Copies of this chain bind each other. A is one copy, B any other.
Amino acid sequence: MEKPQSEVVLYGTWASAYCTRVQLALKLKGIAYEYVEEDLTNKSESLLHYNPVHKKVPVLVHKGKPIAESLVILEYIDDCWNNSPNVLPLDPYQRAKVRFWANFYDQKIIPSSYAVVLSKGKEQENAIKEFNELLTVLEEGIEKDFSTKFPFNGERETLGFLDIVVGAHACNYRALEEAVAVVVEPKEHPAFLSWVTKLKEYPLMNETLPPHDKLAARMRERFSLASKRNIATL
């Protein structure tokens, strides 16, 4: 494969929400970049060279220098291309709150969503209960810390850091539902689901998310579930 020559190169894989985050930030800020699709079953020498610690996508390579980990990359993009629009709010307290909830999403909610799809029966019921409790914490926390209007960062009518961090993952819930027949009940999380619905309709998000059917098929394959299971309630 020819070595990418662009000033900004993103190594990613189409189904990864972490990679979608970086693409959203780059597009939002109007940064031209070259995208290199990685096959995670056969990682390229470039990826292993640029991210020897975690050996994961996304990796952003800027003028030959690599940065790994999606949240670190988002901060870098804001620090480096510090012309508007910024992805993080400018107010220090709002920045802190955005970082707090981004970490909460990554450290609590994403692992909990894996626990749901990787479990069965009674264990899955408990996992779903915990997942919903965490969504309630997120919903109430965001309502308390920010205005809840979309986009909720309270500064402007475009995507902010949390919209990107949460949206890139949560906008795929429907594909996950279709793949493993676990339903996120709208009535229990009206604010969260209204936010996700609006994010999905946002043109930049819509054009950057992986195609629904392709993603559902990948997830179905990944979680080795040929047919839907029925779970009556959450």
A97 to B65, CA, bound (A): 11
- The segment from A67-75, A149-157, A159-167, A185-193 that touches chain B is A67-75
Would you call A114 an interface residue if the criterion is a C-beta within 8 Å of the partner chain's C-beta atoms? no
Chain A's interface size range is 20 to 34
Q: List B contacts of A141 (CB < 8 A).
A: 53
Would you call A76 an interface residue if the criterion is a C-beta within 8 Å of the partner chain's C-beta atoms? yes
A75 touches B99 (CB 8 A): yes
- The segment from A38-46, A88-96, A195-203 that touches chain B is A88-96
B100 touches A72 (CB 8 A): yes
Contact with B along A96-119 (1 / 0, CB 8 A): 110110011000000000000000
* Interface SS, A side: helix
A75 to B99, CA, bound (A): 9
Contact pick for A103, options B72, B80, B100, CB 8 Å: B72
Cross-chain pairs A/B with CB under 8 angstroms, 17 sampled: A53-B104, A53-B137, A62-B93, A65-B93, A67-B93, A67-B96, A68-B100, A69-B103, A71-B103, A73-B96, A75-B96, A75-B99, A76-B92, A76-B95, A76-B96, A79-B95, A80-B92
Expressed in whole angstroms, the minimum distance between the Cβ of A29 and any Cβ of chain B is 13
Contact pick for A100, options B62, B65, B67, B100, CB 8 Å: B67
Q: List B contacts of A75 (CB < 8 A).
A: 95-96, 99
A-B CB proximity, top 7 nearest: A79-B92, A80-B92, A76-B96, A67-B96, A72-B99, A72-B100, A72-B96
Given contacts A72-B100, A75-B95, 4 further A-B contacts (CB under 8 A): A53-B104, A65-B93, A67-B96, A72-B99
Expressed in whole angstroms, the minimum distance between the Cβ of A151 and any Cβ of chain B is 21
Expressed in whole angstroms, the minimum distance between the Cβ of A73 and any Cβ of chain B is 7
Q: List B contacts of A95 (CB < 8 A).
A: 75-76, 79
